[in-house]
Structure 1
Amino acid sequence: MKKCFIVWIAILLITTSCSHPEAIETKNIKILYSSYADFKRDYGSVIDTQFSDTNIEIIEYKGVMGEGIWDAMKYIPKGDLDWNVKGYIDLIKSESPDILFFPSEVYMELQNENMLKDLNIFSTDKDFTAGINEHVLTTLNELGGGSIYAFPQSMVSQALFYNKDVFAKYAIPEPTDQMTWRELLLLTQRFSGNSDLRGLYTPYYDYADLLIEMGKADNRRWYDASQQEAHVGTEFWKDLISNEVTAYSSGGISIEGGIPIDLFSQGEVAMILETPYFMKQVQSLNPNVNWGVVTEPVGTENPDVSSTITYPIMSGISNNAQDLAMATEVWKQLNNKRTTEMRSNSSMDKFTTPIRQLKPGTEQDVFYTLKPSVSTLMERVPLHIELKQKTDRIINDGIQDAIKNPDSLHPIIDKMQEDLTHVLYTEAQK
């Protein structure tokens, strides 16, 4: 009887142990992101499906780093001179996040502080790099001095769309890939003389933005902040201003308001500098429009380089990640091809496109043809919003005056040079 009881107890213990398996250990990962709401919008579904047994804690940096805004296709800090990089680094030190997301301008600082894990292992992983544009990988290697420490979330890119029927109607040759800015301005003037038609519409550039962009394409800046000196009075900038004024005076370019897709579809503009989102609009909303697309205009010195391609947000793995294996797995899932496709399909972002060519061999290739400018990507925000508004106003007013009074172009440029230098000097004395 006693033996039977002992056997029964043994069976009961075995049965009990089998019915209560060991509890699975919950993993904890900290992610530094602009805000919790932003992260849920961008990656919530990925985390919910792939890491349901992982505790993901979001540390918000927006309140410390500053909020970003779009200005002429650039993602810049709102209001301040620059992103609060020191505050961001202090946040890393105090909160010890495992995965870091950050504006690309912060990348070099984090690299210099040795805060990012080397991600070169992913650059040779064919499954992970599937579809990533070769220019992106080359550029990331250059930025990292031969190693990759962060990957972009997406990239800003633009292209030149044109209405084929408008060009055919006026028997004007269509634009081509890698036209220089000067060639494009000359092409726009072929459409002058018709008040109902403009050769080019630039919805994201006013007079100043366009001038600065043309100069940047040849690695020229209109000012030297360290010397509080403007350069618009030099021959290079005088020539650019003259070309721009001529194009506007002829009626070839328009910056007047209007819904871009409507103006383009109705044949009121022959060409338009636009973004990947515009391509989606043309393809879905106006499938009957006979359109083409070529690369954005380039500089004469660097015809295979784009000065507008930027990486607004990048991400990497902290060198001090508490659980490196888990942090690596989560980061990889947030940046793999499947997640890229999901985000691309749901994104309504006007300016960005994935770093992966999800549909190679289609019109989308145009956004990946040119190489990013490394000098542009490494450039910190040079002018804070208030100062930029002042200098832009001087340039815009000057060009507008020159359009109305082309015979007074040189005195107007001289005044622009004087006024801009004064503003830069005054700002430096504060």
Structure 2
Amino acid sequence: MKKQTISALLVSFALALTGCNAATQTPVESTASEGLPQLGNDPVTVKIFASTGMFSDEEFARYLAEPVKKKYPQISVERINSGGQKIQDLITAGEIPDIYASYPGPMGNALAEYKMLYNIEPLIKKYRFDTGRFSDEALQTLKIAGGQDFLPGLPAYTNTFALFYNKDIFDKFGVPYPKDGMFWDEVAELAKKFNRMENGVMYRGVFPDGIGRIQQQLSIPFADFTANKSLVNTEQWREAFQIWGSLFKMPGLTEGDFKVPNAGKNQTAFAGGTLAMIASHSNLLNTLKKTEGVNWDMVTYPQHRKAPGIGQRMDSPILSITEQSKVKDAAFLVLDTLLSTEVQTEMMRGGRMTVLKDEKLKSEFAKGLKEFEGKNLSVMTKLKFAVMTPFRYLPDGDVDKILAKAFNAYIVDEKDLNTALREADEEMNKLIQDKLSQKK
């Protein structure tokens, strides 16, 4: 890739974060043999804020602390929110992390709110980190996700998606198993064969997750940021509600505890043997690892006929170096180590999907999970990422609430489709105006 192209990518490649400040660099000394700067030998501790959902204690040690210590004996990596503290608690206590891990969206706003934003592009150049190693879809997604002219962090990995199914339920009702390459309308037809009471047990066909999933898969815009106007009451959204609604508006599917989409309750139902299929992400593997007696497998995440070959958008923890860090060089070397081929290979073998485009890496997915031998895990690597829709100045949590409220009212017949979309459009326009007024 030419220098000009790399520079252009780095300028536009950003996350949903704001602000820019100067940084204090850790002293370095050159190494003629490698041609790269190198830290001195003085001990240094890099403190990281990252939830246990992003990295379990075992993963934190395996993918961060231990490989960094092996490569840089002078660097120690420490998680500082192991007790479940919130970032606000640590800031109040004067313990701002050197690296803050967040998903693009509301969590990332803390970087701007607490003036922790830092531009890592000089460190990328200094240590010759090759952003061209990221997949094209990941780069495109991350560029669109932000609104800044610099890069404050790097993605660690991404959750990846599949359609999980319970073989025993399919066998019980004599229904053929799902196949790779299915489309959502085919999944809906398959799900209709379930949703029945049997010996006092209510069986259900499918849980595809909330309306946001089809929005993400098709990259449906919810706002025109040039005109600052909602786009929810459009034909694209009408079709999305109808397609997704077909997966919910079946007798017996949305009743009782399952009246509206709830991922946690449906994961429990799948593990408990009453839900035939669930479209979910790689974190479900952790639940299934701890659950005995579930005879399951998976096929590729269902596709939309207008976007064949496309799965879900990138769902990655982003590790950002903070402005307040006094050990920025060491912190960047932690990121560099995490994104090395060696560590990414270990993560892939452990079921964490890489954001790098190395096809050899993808072939290693979940090979280290011996308890899942024989499962069709490779399907999680088959589809391309969808491209993220820009949120710009709108918090995605607020956007999700508006869309979920409208969709949930539609699937339980509290509101017809026209009313649900019209009211959601009005709420989105109000949110847009509220956020614009706050920026003045």
TM-score (norm 2): 0.60
1:363 corresponds to which residue? 376
2:427 corresponds to which residue? 419
1:285 corresponds to which residue? 291
2:418 corresponds to which residue? 410
Q: Give the unaligned 5+ runs of structure 1.
A: 1-24, 93-108, 125-133, 317-321
CA gap of 1:144–1:416, structure 2 versus 1, over 3 A, is: closer
2:28 corresponds to which residue? none
Could you list the per-position Cα deviations for residues 8-61 of structure 1 after superposition, in whole angstroms to 9, with x for gaps in the alignment? xxxxxxxxxxxxxxxxx9525878764499999543333444433x2569899x
Deviation at residue 269 of structure 1 after TM alignment:
0.4
Deviation at residue 271 of structure 1 after TM alignment:
0.8
- Whole-Å Cα distance in 1 between the matches of residues 224 and 411 of structure 2? 26
- Whole-Å Cα distance in 2 between the matches of residues 370 and 139 of structure 1? 11
CA gap of 1:270–1:162, structure 2 versus 1, over 3 A, is: same
Could you list the per-position Cα deviations for residues 256-303 of structure 1 after superposition, in whole angstroms to 9, with x for gaps in the alignment? 5765554224321011123323224435532x4321201222333332
CA gap of 1:399–1:47, structure 2 versus 1, over 3 A, is: closer
Letter in 2 for 1:308: R
Q: Find out whether 1:401 has 2:415 as its counterpart.
A: no
Could you list the per-position Cα deviations for residues 216-264 of structure 1 after superposition, in whole angstroms to 9, with x for gaps in the alignment? 3122122234433222321221122133334323144643576555422
CA gap of 1:174–1:353, structure 2 versus 1, over 3 A, is: same
SS at match of 2:303: coil
1:231 corresponds to which residue? 231
User: Conserved in 2, the CA contact under 8 Å of 1:162 and 1:293?
Assistant: yes
User: Conserved in 2, the CA contact under 8 Å of 1:212 and 1:221?
Assistant: no
CA gap of 1:48–1:402, structure 2 versus 1, over 3 A, is: closer
Taking the TM superposition and a 5 Å limit, the aligned residue runs for 1:300-339 are: 300-313=305-318, 333-336=337-340, 339=343
Which of the two has higher C-alpha Rg?
1
CA gap of 1:419–1:179, structure 2 versus 1, over 3 A, is: same
Q: Find out whether 1:27 has 2:48 as its counterpart.
A: no
1:273 corresponds to which residue? 279
Taking the TM superposition and a 5 Å limit, the aligned residue runs for 1:111-260 are: 111=121, 114-117=122-125, 136-139=134-137, 152-194=155-197, 196-201=202-207, 205=209, 210-250=210-250, 251-252=252-253, 254=258, 255-256=261-262, 260=266
Q: Give the unaligned 5+ runs of structure 2.
A: 1-38, 81-86, 144-150, 322-326, 356-360, 368-373
Matched residue count: 349
CA gap of 1:276–1:323, structure 2 versus 1, over 3 A, is: closer
**Backbone CA RMSD of aligned residues:** 4.9
1:297 corresponds to which residue? 302
Letter in 1 for 2:288: V
Could you list the per-position Cα deviations for residues 111-155 of structure 1 after superposition, in whole angstroms to 9, with x for gaps in the alignment? 5xx55228778799xxxxxxxxx9x5454676899xx99864221
- Whole-Å Cα distance in 2 between the matches of residues 170 and 36 of structure 1? 44
Deviation at residue 163 of structure 1 after TM alignment:
0.8
Q: Find out whether 1:51 has 2:72 as its counterpart.
A: yes
User: Conserved in 2, the CA contact under 8 Å of 1:153 and 1:314?
Assistant: yes
User: Conserved in 1, the CA contact under 8 Å of 2:47 and 2:79?
Assistant: yes
Letter in 1 for 2:272: Q
2:147 corresponds to which residue? none
Deviation at residue 214 of structure 1 after TM alignment:
0.7
User: Conserved in 2, the CA contact under 8 Å of 1:154 and 1:311?
Assistant: yes
Bigger CA drift: 155-164 or 171-180?
A: 171-180
Could you list the per-position Cα deviations for residues 296-352 of structure 1 after superposition, in whole angstroms to 9, with x for gaps in the alignment? 223333322233333322589xxxxx999x99987664444554576689x8xxx95
Bigger CA drift: 185-194 or 228-237?
A: 185-194
Taking the TM superposition and a 5 Å limit, the aligned residue runs for 1:364-403 are: 364-373=377-386, 375-376=387-388, 379=390, 383-384=394-395, 388-389=397-398, 391-403=399-411
Bigger CA drift: 409-418 or 159-168?
A: 409-418
- Whole-Å Cα distance in 1 between the matches of residues 421 and 343 of structure 2? 50
SS at match of 2:423: helix
User: Conserved in 1, the CA contact under 8 Å of 2:65 and 2:78?
Assistant: no
User: Conserved in 2, the CA contact under 8 Å of 1:157 and 1:276?
Assistant: yes
State percent identity of aligned pairs. 17
SS at match of 2:182: coil
CA gap of 1:83–1:161, structure 2 versus 1, over 3 A, is: same
